[in-house]
């Protein structure tokens, strides 16, 4: 990673949840400027303070509203539950123009979260693209990563499949994947996100059936 990469500011929208906080921790540890966003600025500030306490002095983590985080960042990462997906995107749509969004959302529909249930757009990432329009590059990533190891220095036994609207956007997303200590793979256009997002329900079902919380995926047989 070059110094110019580290100058990037990342907005983690909905970053007070476990997945968002874990990713924010990993990127702050790698040296990025991280802006944790939330509907509640107070909750975002508390999450940022928690990460600073864990990492010590010298890290750049701030808490603010989703609107402020999206406005001030170079790249946005959406980590909200699917029930808040559309409302969050519509609230920051104008602030994301000309930027890139990494959508981590999985369209889980309780109570049958182990059953694949995709939206009419095909996937949450495709739905995000419809909402945001052509002014925003959209990628999907991190859907298959369990949050429980992200908030520490554990090695995560799972690869990250990255789909997106352009090769350049996928390449930039893979850089951010690698900054978290994970291995990223270019999984093709955003239409393929239906498979990546759907895998999460399958992994949830495997965890439930076999009494685990750590089911993941690994790409084998390919030089990386």
pLDDT of res. 1: 40
pLDDT of res. 106: 96
Look at 191 and 7; give whichever has higher pLDDT: 191
Single pTM value for the model: 0.94
Is it the case that residue 194 has pLDDT exceeding 90? yes
pLDDT of res. 2: 43
For strand 60-65 and strand 75-78, is the pairing parallel, antiparallel, or unpaired? unpaired
- Among 101, 104, 68, residue whose Cα is nearest residue 84: 104
Q: What's the average model confidence in pLDDT over 139-161?
A: 88
- Percent of the chain residues past pLDDT 70, beyond the cut: 97
- Per DSSP, the residues of 100-148 read EEEE------TT-TTS----TTSSHHHHHHHHH-TTSEEEE--TT--GG
What lies within 8 Å, CB to CB, of 189 at 6+ separation is 163, 164, 165
Q: 198-217 pLDDT, tens per residue?
A: 999 999 999 999 998 889 99
pLDDT band at 152 (very low <50, low <70, confident <90, very high): confident
- Residue 36 tokens read as 């944790």
Look at 178 and 214; give whichever has higher pLDDT: 178
Q: Please, what are the domains in the chain? A: 3-210 (3.40.50.720)
Q: 6-65 pLDDT, tens per residue?
A: 668 999 999 999 999 999 999 999 999 999 999 999 999 999 999 999 999 889 999 999
Task: Return the number of other C-beta atoms located less than 10 Å from residue 221's C-beta.
Answer: 4
- Phi and psi torsions of 17, nearest 5°: -75, 175
Q: What's the average model confidence in pLDDT over 173-196?
A: 97
Q: What's the average model confidence in pLDDT over 118-139?
A: 97
pLDDT of res. 6: 60
pLDDT band at 5 (very low <50, low <70, confident <90, very high): low
Q: What is the CA radius of gyration of the chain?
A: 16
Q: Which residue has the tokens 């580290």?
A: 6
pLDDT band at 153 (very low <50, low <70, confident <90, very high): confident
């Amino acid at each position: 990673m070059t110094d110019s990469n580290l100058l990037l500011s990342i907005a983690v929208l909905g970053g007070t949840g476990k997945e968002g906080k874990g990713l924010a921790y990993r990127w702050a540890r790698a040296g990025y400027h991280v802006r944790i966003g939330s509907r509640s600025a107070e909750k975002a500030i508390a999450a940022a303070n928690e990460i600073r306490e864990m990492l010590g002095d010298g890290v750049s983590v701030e808490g603010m509203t989703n609107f402020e985080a999206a406005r001030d960042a170079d790249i946005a990462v959406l980590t909200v539950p699917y029930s808040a997906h559309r409302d969050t995107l519509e609230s920051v749509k104008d602030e994301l123009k000309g930027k890139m969004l990494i959508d981590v959302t999985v369209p889980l529909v309780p109570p049958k979260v182990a059953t694949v249930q995709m939206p009419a757009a095909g996937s949450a990432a495709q739905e995000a693209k419809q909402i945001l329009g052509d002014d925003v590059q959209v990628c999907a990533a991190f859907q298959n990563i369990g949050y429980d190891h992200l908030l520490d220095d554990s090695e995560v036994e799972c690869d990250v499949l990255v789909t997106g609207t352009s090769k350049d956007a996928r390449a930039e997303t893979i850089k951010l994947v690698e900054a978290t200590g994970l291995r990223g793979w270019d999984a093709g256009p955003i239409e393929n996100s239906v498979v990546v997002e759907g895998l999460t329900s399958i992994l949830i079902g495997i965890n439930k059936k076999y009494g685990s919380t750590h089911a993941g995926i690994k790409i084998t047989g390919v030089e990386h």
